[in-house]
C-alpha cells in the first residue's frame, strides 16, 4: 500500500478507537454501575471526567509534539489510552473507574491533534485531501456506532469488552506507527508557555465541559453556568496573555490567515449543527418513535455509511470544483439534510429515514474533509503544531456547543407545551435552528479567494486559467496567497 494511503489509515484507526470509546460507554452505564456497586447517576462522573481531561490537555498537544516529536507523542498517546482502557476494565470502584477515564482523556487529548500533525508533516499537500478523507470518517462514525455497539456488547457479552477491545487495536497501532510513520522532528522548538497552559486549560475545560453537560442533566444549572462563566473569563484572560508572549500555547494570530480563519470559524458554525445530531436523532427515535437504542442505532448508522462512501470521491470532487465552491455549496446541501430530520414522524417508512440520513452523511463528510484540509493550506511548517492544537480546540468546543444548543431547544419546546414527555414535534425547531446555524458557515467560506487551497486541490480557477501566464503550476511550497501576490 502506498505511503500516502497507509499513514492516514493508521491515524484513522487510532482516532476511531478514541471517538468510539468516548460514546460507547453511554448505553452501558447502568450495567457498569451495578457491577462496581454504585448508581448510574454517580457514574456519569466517568463521562464528565473524560471530557474534562480531554479539554484540559488538548492545548498542550502542539508544544508537546514539537518538543518530543509527533511520532513519539502519537505513539505514547495510544499507549496512555490503552493504559486507561485497562484501568476501566479492571475497575472495581467508582473512584478507580473515574481515574481510569481521566487517563484515557489524557491520551485522547494528544491522539487527535497530534494524529493530524503526523499527517500534515508526512503527507505531501497534493495528497492531503485524500488523506484527510480517511481521518474524517472516524469522527462521523464513532458517535453514531458507539451507543448501539455499547448496548450490544453489554447485552450479549460483558461491559468489560468495551475497553478490552481497545488493547489489540492499540498494540497494532503502536507497531504500525513504529514501522511506517517516519520520525519528523519539528524545525523549531518554542519555549513552554506555562501560564498560558493554565489559563487555556481552565478556559477550554470550563467552556467545553460546561457546554457538554448543559443538556445532559448531570449537574445543577447554577454549577453549569458557573463552569461556563469561569471558562469564558479564563479564556478572555488567556487572549490578553497570548499577545504578550512569543510562543503562545494557542496561537490566535493564525486567524489572520484567511484559509485557517474560514476553517476554524466557519467550521465551528458548521460542526455545531453536526454536533447536535448524535444527541438529537437517537433521542427522537427512542422517545418519539418507540425504538430501542439498538434499533435507533441501526437507523442512524446509515449516515456513517454515507460518510464512508464519501472518501472515494472527495479528492476528485475538490480537484474538479475547488475548495471554495465545494464548501459553499456543500454547507447548504448538508444543512438542508439536517433540516429534513425535522419532518421525521412516526409512521414514516424507515427506508425514507435511512435514505435521508445516508445522503446527508455523504455531504457532511465531504464538507468535513474540505474544511479540515484547507486549514493547513497556508500554514508554514514552523506553526503547523500550533495550528493543529487550535483547530482541535475549536472542534471540541463546536461539538460541545451543538449538544448544548440542541438540548436547550428541545427543553424550550417541552416547556412551551407545558408537557413532561417528549414527542417528535419537540425536535422540529431544534433541527431547523441547528441547520440554519450550520448554513451560516457559508458567510465565512464566501470570503475566501477563488484559488484558496489550490496547491492542495490541484485546481486552477477559471479566471486564472484564462491567462496562460497565471495558469502555470503552483510551485512546491508556494502558497495560494504568494501566487496571488
C-alpha span between 65 and 386 (Å, rounded): 10
Domain boundary among 226, 248, 270: 248
C-alpha span between 81 and 54 (Å, rounded): 11
If asked whether residues 262 and 240 sit together in one domain, one would say no
Per-residue pLDDT tens over the stretch 283-306: 788 777 777 766 777 787 777 777
pTM assigned to the model: 0.77
Q: Which three cell numbers stand for residue 142?
A: 464513532
Domain boundary among 211, 227, 248: 248
Query: Smallest Cα–Cα separation from 441: which of 392, 368, 347, 360?
Result: 368
If asked whether residues 271 and 149 sit together in one domain, one would say no
Tens-of-pLDDT digits for all 485 residues of the chain? Answer: 566 677 887 887 777 777 777 667 766 767 787 888 776 656 666 777 787 788 788 888 888 888 888 888 899 999 999 999 999 989 888 888 889 988 998 898 888 888 888 888 787 777 777 777 777 766 667 666 776 777 677 777 888 888 888 898 889 889 988 888 877 666 567 778 888 888 988 888 888 778 776 755 666 778 888 888 998 999 999 999 988 888 888 888 888 999 999 999 999 999 888 778 877 887 788 777 777 766 777 787 777 777 777 777 878 888 888 888 999 999 999 999 999 988 888 888 888 988 998 898 888 888 888 888 888 888 887 788 888 888 888 887 887 788 778 878 887 887 787 776 777 788 888 899 999 999 999 999 999 888 887 777 665 555 444 444 343 444 434 444 443 33
**Could you tell me if 126 and 456 are in contact, meaning their C-beta atoms sit under 8 angstroms apart?**
yes
DSSP string, 170-206: HHHHHHHHHHHS-----SSPPPP-HHHHHHHHHHHHH
Can you list the positions of beta strands (E) in 8-97?
Answer: none
If asked whether residues 418 and 452 sit together in one domain, one would say yes
End-to-end CA distance of the chain: 39
If asked whether residues 345 and 224 sit together in one domain, one would say no
What pLDDT sits at residue 210? 80
C-alpha span between 143 and 20 (Å, rounded): 6
If asked whether residues 98 and 65 sit together in one domain, one would say yes
If asked whether residues 83 and 208 sit together in one domain, one would say no
C-alpha span between 332 and 335 (Å, rounded): 5
Domain boundary among 139, 167, 186: 186
Number of structural domains in the chain: 3
Using N-to-C axis directions, what is the helix angle for 166-180 and 70-90, rounded to 10°?
170
Q: Which domain holds residue 116?
A: 1-186
Sign of the alpha-carbon torsion through 348, 354, 355, 360: positive
If asked whether residues 328 and 393 sit together in one domain, one would say yes
What pLDDT sits at residue 186? 61
If asked whether residues 275 and 392 sit together in one domain, one would say yes
If asked whether residues 342 and 409 sit together in one domain, one would say yes
If asked whether residues 432 and 306 sit together in one domain, one would say yes
If asked whether residues 454 and 344 sit together in one domain, one would say yes
Half-sphere exposure at residue 15, Cβ-oriented, CA atoms within 13 angstroms: 25
| Neighbour tally for 151: CB within 10 Å | 20
Sign of the alpha-carbon torsion through 421, 425, 431, 434: negative
What pLDDT sits at residue 56? 81
Q: Which three cell numbers stand for residue 255?
A: 486567524
What pLDDT sits at residue 331? 92
CATH number at residue 347: 1.20.1250.20
If asked whether residues 205 and 176 sit together in one domain, one would say no
C-alpha span between 159 and 149 (Å, rounded): 11
What pLDDT sits at residue 479? 42
**Residue 59 DSSP class:** G
**Distance from chain centroid for Cα 213:** 17
Amino acid at each position: 500500500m502506498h505511503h500516502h494511503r497507509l499513514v492516514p489509515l493508521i491515524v484513522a484507526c487510532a482516532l476511531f478507537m478514541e471517538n468510539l470509546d468516548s460514546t460507547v460507554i453511554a448505553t452501558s452505564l447502568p450495567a457498569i454501575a451495578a457491577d462496581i456497586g454504585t448508581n448510574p447517576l454517580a457514574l456519569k462522573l466517568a463521562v464528565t471526567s473524560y471530557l474534562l481531561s480531554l479539554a484540559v490537555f488538548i492545548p498542550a498537544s502542539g508544544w508537546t509534539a514539537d518538543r518530543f516529536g509527533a511520532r513519539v507523542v502519537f505513539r505514547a498517546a495510544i499507549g496512555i489510552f490503552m493504559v486507561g482502557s485497562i484501568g476501566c476494565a479492571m475497575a472495581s470502584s467508582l473512584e478507580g473507574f473515574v481515574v481510569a477515564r481521566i487517563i484515557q482523556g489524557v491520551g485522547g487529548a494528544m491522539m487527535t491533534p497530534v494524529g493530524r500533525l503526523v499527517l500534515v508533516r508526512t503527507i505531501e499537500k497534493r495528497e492531503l485531501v485524500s488523506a484527510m478523507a480517511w481521518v474524517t470518517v472516524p469522527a462521523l462514525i464513532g458517535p453514531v456506532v458507539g451507543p448501539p455497539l455499547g448496548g450490544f456488547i453489554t447485552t450479549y457479552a460483558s461491559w468489560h469488552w468495551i475497553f478490552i477491545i481497545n488493547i489489540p487495536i492499540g498494540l497494532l497501532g503502536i507497531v504500525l506507527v513504529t514501522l511506517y510513520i517516519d520520525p519528523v522532528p519539528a524545525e523549531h522548538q518554542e519555549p513552554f508557555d506555562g501560564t498560558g497552559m493554565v489559563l487555556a486549560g481552565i478556559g477550554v475545560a470550563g467552556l467545553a465541559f460546561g457546554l457538554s453537560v448543559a443538556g445532559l442533566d448531570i449537574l445543577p444549572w447554577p454549577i453549569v453556568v458557573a463552569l461556563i462563566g469561569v471558562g469564558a473569563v479564563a479564556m478572555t484572560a488567556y487572549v490578553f496573555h497570548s499577545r504578550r508572549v512569543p510562543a503562545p500555547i494557542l496561537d490566535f494570530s493564525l486567524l489572520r490567515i484567511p484559509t485557517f480563519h474560514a476553517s476554524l470559524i466557519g467550521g465551528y458554525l458548521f460542526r455545531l449543527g453536526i454536533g447536535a445530531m448524535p444527541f438529537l436523532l437517537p433521542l427522537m427515535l427512542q422517545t418519539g418513535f418507540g425504538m430501542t437504542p439498538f434499533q435507533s442505532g441501526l437507523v442512524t448508522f446509515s449516515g456513517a455509511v454515507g460518510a464512508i462512501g464519501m472518501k472515494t470521491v472527495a479528492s476528485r470532487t475538490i480537484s474538479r470544483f475547488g475548495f471554495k465552491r465545494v464548501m459553499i455549496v456543500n454547507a447548504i446541501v448538508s444543512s438542508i439534510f439536517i433540516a429534513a430530520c425535522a419532518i421525521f414522524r412516526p409512521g414514516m417508512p424507515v427506508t425514507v429515514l435511512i435514505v435521508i440520513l445516508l445522503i446527508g452523511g455523504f455531504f457532511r463528510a465531504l464538507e468535513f474533509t474540505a474544511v479540515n484540509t484547507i486549514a493547513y493550506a497556508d500554514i508554514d511548517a514552523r506553526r503547523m503544531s500550533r495550528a493543529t492544537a487550535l483547530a482541535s480546540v475549536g472542534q471540541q468546543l463546536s461539538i460541545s456547543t451543538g449538544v448544548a444548543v440542541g438540548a436547550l431547544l428541545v427543553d424550550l419546546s417541552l416547556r412551551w407545551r407545558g408537557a413532561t414527555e417528549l414527542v417528535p414535534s419537540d425536535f422540529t425547531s431544534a433541527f431547523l435552528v441547528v441547520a440554519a446555524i450550520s448554513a451560516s458557515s457559508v458567510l465565512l467560506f464566501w470570503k475566501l479567494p477563488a484559488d484558496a487551497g489550490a496547491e492542495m486541490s490541484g485546481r486552477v480557477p477559471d479566471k486564472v486559467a484564462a491567462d496562460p501566464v497565471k495558469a502555470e503550476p503552483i510551485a512546491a511550497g508556494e502558497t495560494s496567497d504568494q501566487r496571488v501576490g
